[in-house]
A and B are shown apart, each in its own frame.
Chain A
Amino acid sequence: GAVVSQHPSWVICKSGTSVKIECRSLDFQATTMFWYRQFPKQSLMLMATSNEGSKATYEQGVEKDKFLINHASLTLSTLTVTSAHPEDSSFYICSARAPRGGHSYNEQFFGPGTRLTVL
């Protein structure tokens, strides 16, 4: 099946530093990946759509200069939280869209998530 990994699974950083989170599709190529944020006991909120080889599309209210997204290859998208602050602490989840032509097209496959804690 389609497997999506995230690294790291958890990270603790000091306020003001930047943190990079990687999202990889392990056994398929993903032209589109998605980044979600989840606060404790809450649902997933879409932050941005990451398209390979082009700029990411950010949802309303998400600061693109703070949450930098790069989708440099068909199997890797990265989210960099720049100048992190305690309010950025959250659970970040990525997903990858199944490739066209397969029986799972029109599905998103989710990574295990990254827990970010900013001190």
Chain B
Amino acid sequence: AQSVTQPDIHITVSEGASLELRCNYSYGATPYLFWYVQSPGQGLQLLLKYFSGDTLVQGIKGFEAEFKRSQSSFNLRKPSVHWSDAAEYFCAVGPPSSARQLTFGSGTQLTVLP
């Protein structure tokens, strides 16, 4: 069965600092990979996705993620964090060639200090 691990429950960074949120997955094949952001009381917004091809994926709001097959990882990065980036971040995986059965990680809460 597939699973997603986000080892960091809570991360605090200063505004302007760089950010990396970790995501590891367990899957029989290379799955589809997603990063979503959720603000309090809101739904999920897609930041970026990886289906195939270039392993460095650019997303919205200055985020990027790198797929590393050898490490089964899909870490999210941002070179300079803004106060508005404070939110909950979820990594998710889905089976190849389908949007069904997304499995979500437990989430990482990001706090941004002024």
Contact = CB atoms under 8 A, between A and B. Distances in A.
Contacts of B106: 42-43
B56 interface: no
Interface residues of B, number: 25
Given A107-B46, A111-B43, A113-B42, A43 B107 contact: yes
A32 B100 contact: yes
B44 A43 contact: no
A7 B68 CA distance: 39
A32 B51 CA distance: 20
Given A106-B32, A106-B51, A44 B41 contact: no
Interface in A31-55: 32, 34, 41-46, 49
Interface of A: 4, 6, 32, 34, 41-46, 49, 91, 93, 95, 97-98, 105-113, 115
Given A42-B107, A106-B98, 13 more contacts: A32-B99, A43-B107, A44-B44, A46-B101, A91-B41, A97-B99, A106-B32, A106-B97, A109-B46, A110-B43, A111-B43, A113-B43, A115-B41
Interface of B: 32, 34, 36, 41-46, 49, 51, 90, 94, 97-107, 109
12 contacts: A32-B99, A32-B100, A41-B109, A43-B105, A44-B44, A44-B90, A95-B44, A108-B99, A108-B102, A110-B43, A113-B41, A113-B43
